[in-house]
Amino acid sequence: MVRAACALVAVLVAVLLSACGSAGRAPEAPAPSGPAVPPPSSAPAAARPSVPTPPPPRPVATPGKKVTIQLTGYSYADNTPPGSSEVCCAVLHQVAGGQGTFEDPITVAVPGSGGQGMLYPSGTKFYLPTVLRYVIVEDSGASSYALPHLDMWVDGRGDGASDVENCMDEITGQVPAELGPPPGRPVLAGPISSGAGCRIPHGRG
């Protein structure tokens, strides 16, 4: 009987202790009830206006070397063989010719013989401001002078022999030249003498 009473007391004590523990526990805080945050928009951001890339600066052409030359002319009448336009050392033209532009310079001959001992190698370019033409070395046989000598092909077809001779006299002399010129120099395109008179600056039309 005593043992049962003790057991009953123990059960009551346990119940009381449990009730006291529950009463002292802090209640859980309720979840915040603020406005719901919308999910991030899946719409793409507005594209930024594209800024065009500026073009790279154009390279500045390096001027050629300034030289003084002895300039003369030759034509069909005094070429070797006479009446021909043959050249020894073709580069751009199979026969003497050209328009005098940077892309199509006119043939010139330099001292040397048969392509041997040439004063300038074939393919060398010059610009001649007195005739407003670019020229290219494609022939040899010009006479030797104290100055570098360029003998320029004037063509001569369609003009009288005396007119061609006079035209060659007009271009002859010690003149400035530019060795290895860049493009862009002023040009009077076309043969010097080819059925249209002597086509040089301030020359006969």
165-187 burial, b if ≥16 CB within 10 A, otherwise e?
bebbebbeeebebbeebeeebeb
pLDDT tens digits for range 112-139: 998 999 999 999 999 999 999 999 999 9
Could you tell me how far CA 200 lies from the centroid of its own chain?
31
Nearest alpha carbon to residue 131 among 104, 170, 163, 183: 170
Residues 70 and 147 sit within 8 Å (Cβ to Cβ): yes
Distance CA 205, CA 196 (A): 7
pLDDT above 90 coverage of the chain, percent: 60
Q: How many CA atoms lie within 13 A of 81 on its CB side?
A: 0
Q: Is the predicted pLDDT of residue 202 greater than 80, yes or no?
A: no
> What's phi and psi for 40, nearest 5 deg?
-60, 145
Give dist(CA 126, CA 130) in Å, integer: 12
Residue range 166-193, pLDDT digits in tens: 999 999 999 999 999 999 999 999 999 9
pLDDT surpassing 70 at residue 28: no
Q: What is the pLDDT of residue 11?
A: 52
Is the predicted pLDDT of residue 29 greater than 60, yes or no?
Answer: no
Position 172 scores a pLDDT of: 97
**Which residue type does 86 have?**
E
Measure Cα distances from 8 to 17, 23, 104, 192 in Å: 14, 23, 126, 139
Beta-bridge mates of residue 33: none
119, amino acid identity: L
Contact (CB, 8 A) for 67 and 174: no
What does the pLDDT read at residue 117? 93
- DSSP assignment, residue 85? -
Name the DSSP letter for residue 13: H
pLDDT, tens only, 84-98: 999 999 999 999 999
CB-neighbour burial class of residue 189 (10 A; exposed 0-12, middle 13-18, buried 19+): middle
Check pLDDT > 80 for residue 18.
no
In this prediction, residue 204 has a pLDDT band, given cuts at 50, 70 and 90, of: very low
Q: Is 141 helix (H, G, I), strand (E, B) or coil?
A: strand
Spacing of C-alpha 73 from chain mean position: 34
Alpha helices in the chain (DSSP H): 2-24, 161-171
